[in-house]
């Protein structure tokens, strides 16, 4: 009886190199085309962000800047030298700092005091009140400017920086309350209960326990309100008509001359200086706000 033997693989003829087969892939052609489309969309979005930034940087150093993006024939700092004056740059930036900083401070203080009872106490009308706050965040400022302007005329607050700060703080307050309440919910209540046992009142527990633990959240709310007020053009343009009180967001309009002429080089240089305080604020708040894990580890040990 003949023995059964296993079939052997065919042997390649000598002198002929073997071709390596490509690794099998489970990705379908449709999935590959989807990835290509996603990559193309991301590249398009990146270009849309980078082109304006490139224009600002190049036009600020171009003695003959235009609206097109191009590399200047010669580099100059004359555009910066022309705008580095008190009237053109420093006073508008100072007004913007006063308006935005005052708005952010008032909004943060009011939002912390308003969010504390909403976060800690069970009230009968808490949910309807929260929904009313959420509805307030959806109201456009432009829709209420006519009655607000009439109110400012009646109260004599037109061209008043404190009046503008109060109005900007009022418009920023709904979203700030909503954000602050969510951050405050993350602070353990047991820490306040321990303070209450030691004789601390509600305001003492809020000031010494809750607020220090939610510093990252307060920093987020502060930056959000500050940047909103810093870039606000419409409200200061309507309520502040004196050049001595106008912020930088309105003063940038002075680079647009009559008959459609625009000083592109000075406009680009002013835009760079206009963005510096916000970048400095981001770095300072990130440096001094502390770690966001402070709240999660507060009850350990």
Range ranked top by mean pLDDT from 104-108, 209-213, 255-259, 287-291: 104-108
Q: How far is CA 278 from the centre of its chain?
A: 10
The residue among 99 and 131 whose pLDDT is bigger is: 99
| Residue 50 pLDDT > 80 | yes
d(CA 175, CA 226): 13
Is 11 a residue whose pLDDT tops 80? no
The pLDDT, as a whole number, for residue 216 is 87
- For 184-225, how does the pLDDT look when each residue is reduced to its tens digit (9 = 90+)? 988 888 888 888 888 888 888 888 888 988 888 899 999 999
Q: What tens digit of pLDDT does each residue of 116-143 get?
A: 988 888 877 778 888 888 787 787 888 8
**pLDDT, mean of residues 83-111:** 93
Look at 214-223, 233-242, 289-298 and tell me which has the smallest mean pLDDT: 289-298
**Which residue did the predictor score with more confidence, 272 or 297?**
272
Coil, strand or helix at 99: helix
pLDDT digits (tens, 9 = 90+) for 58-74: 999 988 888 888 888 88
> What distance in Å separates the CA atoms of residue 180 and residue 154, rounded to the nearest whole number?
33
Mean of pLDDT over the chain:
83
Mean pLDDT value across residues 27-49: 84
* 3-state secondary structure (DSSP) of residue 256: strand
Nearest CA among 106, 53, 60, 51 for reference residue 79: 60
Give the span between the Cα atoms of 170 and 49, in whole angstroms. 32
Confirm if 85 and 273 have CB atoms less than 8 A apart.
Answer: no
pLDDT at 126: 79
Residue 293's pLDDT band (boundaries 50, 70, 90)? very low
Sign of the C-alpha dihedral, residues 135, 138, 142, 143?
negative
C-alpha 108: how far from its chain's center?
16
For the record, the structure tokens of 232 come out as 């606000």
Q: What is the DSSP letter of 262?
A: B
Confidence of residue 2 (pLDDT cuts 50, 70, 90): very low
**Does position 21 have pLDDT exceeding 70, yes or no?**
no
| Dihedral Cα 251, 252, 254, 259, nearest 10 deg | -150
């Amino acid at each position: 009886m003949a023995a059964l033997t296993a079939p052997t693989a065919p042997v390649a003829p000598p002198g002929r190199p073997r071709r390596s087969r490509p690794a099998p892939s489970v990705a379908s052609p449709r999935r590959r085309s989807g990835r290509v489309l996603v990559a193309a969309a991301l590249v398009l979005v990146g270009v849309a962000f980078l082109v304006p930034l490139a224009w600002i940087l190049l036009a600020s150093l171009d003695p003959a800047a235009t609206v097109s993006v191009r590399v200047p024939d010669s580099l100059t700092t004359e555009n910066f030298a022309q705008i580095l004056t008190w009237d053109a740059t420093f006073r508008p930036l100072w007004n913007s700092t006063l308006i935005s900083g005052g708005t952010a401070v008032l909004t943060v203080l009011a939002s912390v005091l308003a969010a504390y009872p909403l976060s800690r106490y069970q009230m009968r009308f808490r949910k309807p009140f929260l929904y009313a706050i959420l509805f307030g965040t959806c109201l456009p400022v432009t829709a209420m400017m006519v009655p607000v302007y009439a109110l400012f005329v009646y109260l004599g607050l037109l061209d008043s920086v404190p009046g503008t700060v109060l109005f900007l703080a009022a418009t920023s307050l709904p979203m700030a309350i909503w954000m602050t309440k969510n951050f405050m919910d993350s602070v353990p209540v047991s820490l306040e209960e321990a303070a209450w046992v030691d004789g601390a009142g509600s305001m003492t527990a809020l000031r010494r326990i809750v607020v220090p633990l939610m510093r990252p959240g307060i920093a987020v709310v502060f930056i959000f309100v500050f940047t909103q007020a810093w870039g606000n053009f419409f409200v200061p343009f309507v309520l502040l008509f004196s050049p001595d009180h106008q912020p930088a967001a309105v003063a940038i309009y002075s680079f647009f001359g009559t008959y459609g002429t625009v000083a592109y080089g000075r406009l680009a240089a002013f835009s760079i200086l206009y963005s510096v305080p916000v970048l400095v604020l981001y770095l300072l708040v990130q440096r001094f706000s502390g770690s966001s894990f402070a709240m999660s580890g507060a009850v350990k040990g």
